[in-house]
């Protein structure tokens, strides 16, 4: 008897040592609210679902473990026992005739949250809900550098309070008027001896086929609620504008169908100066066209004509692109300088085989700004220098192009 007791205690110790902490498994603190527990289960059950991880035994085990952790922590009594006595206390509670967790099949629990058979569209002819499409705008620097961020959408979700039953106590009865079909046949008299049968929605259950005596106070018996849901967004370097990112089975949920896909269209925000240092770079105002970037640099008349200048343009990731001209190098207005490998990184899905990284070009357009007015003494000095040079080296464009020089002679015209 003593040996049996020691073996039993040894097994309990092994269970306690091997079992993973339920709070740690769900990524929660011990003071987590019921809403946080349900949110953690929703996220992790989708992540580790066997349909999304075919052939991965580790993901399957994680899926089962997440369901077990949810079963224990969502119930006040079992959570209290677990907090006080751990895994051993839960095992003793089950053997001692205490109320076990509500669910045993992790796929059944999953179906209560997301509808369908507990699988992602593999239920054999199950209804599938519509896809949901949203636009998410991010700045150009995120397309250039890549970034992981979050976005929030409001969607229809299966009510977590009643797990999609619509009933506060979980009790749902079949409608006695329509027999659960949701439709009734009514007989209408069109004329003496002439009748017509019309199929209409059952007025008692509203076409649902079931009745609820105690509606859920959260969803009001509708079985679904509108709530915000946050998703992680991975922006890869060089992703094109308008790229579609699909989140499987993340659209509107219902107990009556398998959720469709959430499709995100990644767009670019208009450039603006932010408050942080990395948001105030010159690159903020780059324009993008495919794999190339475009920048407009403004030069004064002296810089364009005489050269001898240097400009440092801060790129989207903070590195410097230097623009310059030596003394005597002239820049014509609207000249475009092409700087290779300073454009957008090319998205990995568009790279040729064997190439790990490549960039487009940066196109710099030079705009020359003329002065509005000139100081009198400066104008006098400049004019004398210019006239001296023009008489010695200047070219008459009219003569070069064969145009008549000087004012046109006046000619008489006959009056009408």
Q: How large is the average pLDDT for residues 311-340?
A: 95
CA–CA distances in Å: residue 366 to residues 115, 297, 324, 327 = 60, 5, 12, 17
Residue 404 has a pLDDT of 77
Indicate the average pLDDT of the chain. Answer: 83
Tell me the per-residue pLDDT of 22-40, one tens digit each, with 9 for 90 and over. 899 889 988 888 878 887 8
Tell me the per-residue pLDDT of 223-252, one tens digit each, with 9 for 90 and over. 899 999 898 999 999 999 999 999 888 899
Domain count, the chain: 2
Residue 98 lies in a domain: yes
Residue 223 lies in a domain: no
What is the CATH classification number for the domain harbouring 32? 1.10.287.110
What is the CATH classification number for the domain harbouring 306? 2.60.260.20
- As given in the structure block, the two tokens for residue 46 are 């989708």
pLDDT above 90: percentage of residues in the chain? 33
- 195-199, 264-268, 305-309, range with the lowest pLDDT: 195-199
Domain of residue 344, residue span:
277-369
Where is the domain boundary, 369, 389, 407? 369
Residue 411 has a pLDDT of 64
Q: Band the pLDDT of 100: cuts 50, 70, 90.
A: very low
Residue 270 lies in a domain: no
What's the CA gap between 152 and 147, in Å, rounded?
16
Q: Which residues neighbour 378 within 8 Å (Cβ) at sequence distance 6 or greater?
A: none
pLDDT at 390 over 70: yes
Residue 115 lies in a domain: no
Which residue do the tokens 């290779």 mark?
Answer: 340
Residue 213 has a pLDDT of 81
Q: How large is the average pLDDT for residues 40-57?
A: 83
Q: How large is the average pLDDT for residues 286-300?
A: 96
Q: How large is the average pLDDT for residues 151-173?
A: 84
Where is the domain boundary, 51, 70, 104? 104
Residue 202 lies in a domain: no
What's the CA gap between 116 and 352, in Å, rounded?
42
Tell me the per-residue pLDDT of 189-230, one tens digit each, with 9 for 90 and over. 677 767 777 778 887 777 777 778 888 898 888 889 999 989
Q: Which residues neighbour 195 within 8 Å (Cβ) at sequence distance 6 or greater?
A: 187, 188, 189
What's the CA gap between 21 and 69, in Å, rounded?
8
Q: How large is the average pLDDT for residues 113-125?
A: 59
Q: What angle do CA 370, 373, 374 make, to 5 degrees?
A: 100
Residue 271 lies in a domain: no
| Residue 206, phi-psi category: left (phi > 0), alpha (psi -120 to 50), beta (remainder) | left
User: With contact defined as beta carbons under 8 Å apart, do 233 and 264 qualify?
Assistant: yes
* Closest-CA residue to 13 (of 87, 68, 70): 87
Residue 296 lies in a domain: yes
Residue 346 lies in a domain: yes
Q: Band the pLDDT of 363: cuts 50, 70, 90.
A: very high
pLDDT at 410 over 70: no
Residue 233 has a pLDDT of 94
Where is the domain boundary, 70, 104, 138? 104
User: With contact defined as beta carbons under 8 Å apart, do 359 and 343 qualify?
Assistant: yes
Query: What long-range pairs does 342-345 form, CB within 8 A, spacing at least 24?
Result: 342/293, 342/315, 343/291, 343/292, 343/293, 344/143, 344/144, 344/238, 344/288, 344/290, 344/291, 344/292, 344/293, 345/144, 345/237, 345/238
pLDDT above 70: percentage of residues in the chain? 86
pTM, two decimals, is: 0.69
pLDDT at 139 over 50: yes
More confident residue, 76 or 141: 141
More confident residue, 331 or 274: 331
């Amino acid at each position: 008897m003593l040996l049996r007791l020691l073996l039993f205690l040894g097994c309990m110790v092994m269970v306690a040592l091997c079992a993973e902490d339920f709070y740690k498994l769900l990524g929660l603190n011990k003071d987590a609210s019921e809403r946080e527990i349900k949110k953690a289960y929703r996220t992790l059950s989708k992540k580790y679902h066997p349909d999304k991880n075919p052939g991965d035994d580790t993901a399957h085990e994680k899926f089962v473990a997440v369901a077990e952790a949810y079963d224990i922590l969502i119930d006040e009594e079992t959570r209290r026992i677990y907090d006080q006595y751990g895994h051993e206390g839960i095992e003793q509670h089950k053997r001692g005739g205490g109320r076990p967790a509500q669910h045993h099949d992790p796929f059944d629990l999953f179906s209560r949250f997301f509808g369908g058979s507990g699988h992602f569209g593999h239920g054999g002819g199950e209804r599938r809900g519509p896809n949901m499409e949203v636009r998410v705008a991010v700045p150009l620097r995120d397309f250039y550098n890549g970034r992981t961020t979050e976005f929030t959408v409001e969607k229809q979700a299966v009510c977590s309070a009643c797990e999609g039953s619509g009933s506060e106590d979980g009790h749902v009865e079949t409608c006695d008027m329509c027999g659960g079909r949701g439709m009734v046949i009514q007989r209408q008299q069109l004329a003496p001896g002439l009748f017509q049968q019309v199929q209409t929605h059952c007025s008692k259950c509203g076409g649902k086929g079931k009745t609820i005596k105690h509606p859920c106070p959260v969803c009001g018996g509708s079985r679904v609620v509108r709530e915000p849901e946050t998703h992680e967004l991975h922006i890869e370097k060089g992703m094109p504008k308008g790229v579609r990112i699909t989140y499987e089975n993340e659209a509107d949920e219902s107990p009556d169908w398998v959720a469709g896909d959430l499709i995100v269209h990644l767009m670019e925000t208009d450039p603006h100066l932010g408050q942080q240092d990395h948001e105030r770079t010159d690159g903020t105002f780059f324009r993008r066209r495919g794999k190339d970037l475009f920048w407009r640099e403004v030069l004064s008349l002296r810089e364009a004509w005489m050269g001898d200048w240097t400009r440092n343009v801060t790129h989207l990731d903070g590195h410097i692109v230097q623009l310059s001209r030596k003394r005597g190098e002239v820049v014509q207005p609207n000249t475009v300088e092409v700087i290779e490998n300073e454009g957008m990184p090319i998205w990995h899905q568009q790279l040729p085989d064997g190439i790990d990284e490549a960039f487009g070009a940066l196109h710099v357009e030079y705009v020359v700004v003329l002065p509005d007015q000139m100081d009198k003494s400066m104008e006098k000095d400049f004019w004398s220098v210019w006239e001296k040079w023009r008489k010695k080296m200047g070219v008459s464009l009219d003569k070069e192009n064969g145009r008549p020089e000087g004012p046109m002679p006046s000619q008489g015209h006959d009056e009408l």
